[in-house]
Amino acid sequence: MIGGYDGISYYPNVQVIDLEDPDSECAPLINYPSGVFYPTVAYTDGRLRACGGVSTESGAAAASAACYEYDVDEETWSREERN
């Protein structure tokens, strides 16, 4: 899960849960690089990728075209360059 909203502010927090493990609990990761909600997220090859969604960086909600990748081993987010 990326982001959240408490009725006042949007959050860049990230949590991961293993849907195949009934005993799995949410595990926090380093915050997403920007405040965003409704991104499309996939976990493949040991990397979490998130694209799009609605960004709140400018103070107003706007569609985001940004894609970021989280390296689980390095515990870092990096912006993916798109051609």
- Residue 10: pLDDT band by 50, 70, 90 thresholds? low
- Residue 58: pLDDT band by 50, 70, 90 thresholds? low
Give the tens place of pLDDT for each residue, 11-34: 667 777 777 888 887 776 777 777
Q: DSSP letters along the chain, please?
A: -EEEE-SS-EEEEEEE--TT-TT---EEESPPSS-EES-EEEEETTEEEEE--EE-TTSS-EE---EEEEETTTTEEEEPP--
Percentage of the chain modeled with pLDDT above 70? 78
